[in-house]
Amino acid sequence: MKQHYHGSCQCGKIKLTAAVQSLEMGLCHCRSCRKMNAGPVFILDAGFGKDILFEGLEHITVYSSSERMERGFCSHCGTTVYSRLVQPDFYEIPVDIFDNLPENELTISKEFFCSSQPEYYHFVEKGQRFETFPQ
């Protein structure tokens, strides 16, 4: 069942509400995610743009990190608040943005860009591993 969760950036100028389908997280090891988030990023599928409610949209700077992907971050505090697959306008939201998730119910379901994972970290829990991002 879809649950609505509330999130915010570090400074609080951006707030969002998203209907999260499942508490099964994706984990991305790609260089781009690691640079922008200072580490591998845990994400939840948050659905299409029309279903996400943003407050403080004027504070979001959008950066195209690849042809397929855009990232939105707070112009004040730098928090990455989403990654968006441009086609079909699908949003992935970093788990740590959310303020009211039942954190102990989260599981790692899938891991992306495992070919880019460095050897200096490992997680106890493992998801289904993909070399890149499944098409």
Bridge partners, 15 (sequence order): 8, 55
Cβ proximity to Zn ion, 67 vs 105, nearer residue: 67
Cβ proximity to Zn ion, 2 vs 35, nearer residue: 35
Cβ proximity to Zn ion, 13 vs 110, nearer residue: 13
Report the distance separating Cα 26 and Cα 94, nearest Å.
9
Cβ proximity to Zn ion, 102 vs 123, nearer residue: 123
Q: How far is the CB of 55 from Zn ion (least distance, A)?
A: 12
Q: How far is the CB of 88 from Zn ion (least distance, A)?
A: 18
Residue 70: what residue type? E
Per-residue 3-state assignment (H helix, E strand, C coil) for 40-102: CEEEEEEEEHHHCEEECHHHEEEEECCCCEEEEEECCCCCEEEEEECCCCEEEEEHHHECCCC
Q: How far is the CB of 113 from Zn ion (least distance, A)?
A: 6
Q: How far is the CB of 23 from Zn ion (least distance, A)?
A: 20
Q: How far is the CB of 19 from Zn ion (least distance, A)?
A: 22
Would you say 42 and 80 are in contact if contact means Cβ atoms under 8 Å apart? no
Cβ proximity to Zn ion, 3 vs 132, nearer residue: 132
Binding site for Zn ion (CB under 5 A): 9, 11, 13, 28, 30, 33, 74, 76-77
C-alpha closest to that of 111 among 30, 46, 28, 24 = 28
**What number of residues does the chain have?**
135
